[in-house]
Structure 1
Amino acid sequence: MLEIQGINKSFGEHKVLKNVNTVFDDGGIYCLMGASGMGKTTLLRIILGLETKDSGEIIGINTDEISVMFQENRLCETLTPVENLALVCPKDITKKEIQKSLEKILPSDCLKQPVSELSGGMKRRVALARAVIYPSKLVIFDEPFTGLDVETKKEVISYLLQNQNGRIYIIATHGESDAQMLGATRLELANISENDGGECSCTDWDLI
């Protein structure tokens, strides 16, 4: 379980998050919703320990128990998809097992190519698979479906569900349909201009 208590964050005079409180249960899938600039990435970076918070607490999971897929792929371009995943895998997982896993979301003929030769959509899938294969308690995905067509997105979502293994998934996305396909719970970060006192509020969980 991950609990967020009273998180506040401002950049200068601009308040991004105010008194954010919520709980993420083990095995849950949560879609963090809201327009660009509403604080989704900031909240994720605070959970990851990459951004300081002004106040509040993150309780239940340590940062070394989290894996992440950033908006940027952050792959080793000279390595193959299999080699990229091998960098974060436990030692007892073989490259053959990694390849078998990747074949569920990538054409097999791409697996021996350097990542630099892959399309943008294929790179996104490699980055996603790398986050999933890491032995974590929480996996964070920041806009994971960017650049994917509908059919590819369905394959990727199926892959995510098959490999969740009781972990928490937190997914920042703009897409209502993404949340529906994932069977996820929505967490809405409201526009601060629409809240008295500039509050960026988390609505009650709305199960889709």
Structure 2
Amino acid sequence: MVLDGLDLDLPDGSVTALMGPNGSGKTTIGRLVLGLEHPDAGAVTGLAGRRVAATFQEDRLCEQLTAERNVRLVLDRARAADAVAALRAAGLDDDALAKPVRDLSGGQRRRVAIVRALVAPADVVVLDEPFKGLDTAARERLLALVRERCAGRTLLLVTHDAAEAAALNATVVTLP
């Protein structure tokens, strides 16, 4: 078993980065936290009643919707304006906001997926390799947005990049 004997504590408001080689179980842990998978043995505890949001390794966007509509899927009407503000903070311009996401570049699509997780009314945010495929400027901009939008919330970052973990002042958990 890849995760045999694992104990992971994610205190409220903490930032934790899971690091390790491919196949070490980083994504599986994220999926366990999200409730998308269930352990063969043991338990995931402490998440009852907590709302979760995520960015997966794939963008998982609604292709026919615009960036704004994709983000608004996780917002109530009172916070709808937050979608555009957050997308602009992520570096999307008016032209990108007007197109269906299927017509956006890979980097633009990635930004939409990250923003959707960040604006969701969640207590726990899981970001699985969120910055892959982004250039340095976009990565820096998104790291700042993650710091801002996740302040006070529990953040679990799955990454291979120690610089990303350091930029978020994360407690690093290294899996063998």
CA contact (8 A) 2:117 2:125 kept: yes
State the 1:97 CA deviation.
Answer: 2.8
Confirm whether residue 100 of structure 1 aligns to residue 85 of structure 2.
yes
CA contact (8 A) 2:91 2:138 kept: no
CA contact (8 A) 2:82 2:119 kept: no
Based on CA coordinates, which of the two structures has the bigger radius of gyration? 1
Query: How does the TM-score come out when normalised to structure 2?
Result: 0.94
Which is richer in strand?
1
RMSD over aligned Cα atoms: 1.3
Return the alpha-carbon distance in structure 1 between the equivalents of residues 170 and 33 of structure 2.
19
Q: Give 1:138's aligned residue.
A: 124
Q: How many residues of Structure 1 are paired with residues of Structure 2 in the alignment? A: 175
In percent, how many aligned pairs have the same letter?
37
Q: Which runs of 5+ in 2 are unaligned?
A: none
Moved over 2 A (4+): none
Query: How does the TM-score come out when normalised to structure 1?
Result: 0.80
Q: Give 1:33's aligned residue.
A: 19
Q: Which runs of 5+ in 1 are unaligned?
A: 1-14, 191-208
Confirm whether residue 62 of structure 1 aligns to residue 48 of structure 2.
yes
Return the alpha-carbon distance in structure 2 between the equivalents of residues 148 and 29 of structure 1.
21
| Greater RCO structure (CA 8 Å; 6+ sep) | 2
Which is richer in helix?
2
State the 1:46 CA deviation.
Answer: 1.5
Counterparts of 1:129-208 in structure 2, within 5 Å, are 129-190=115-176
In 2 relative to 1, CA 62–69 (structure 1 residues): closer, same or farther, beyond 3 Å? farther
CA contact (8 A) 2:92 2:108 kept: no
CA contact (8 A) 1:27 1:167 kept: yes
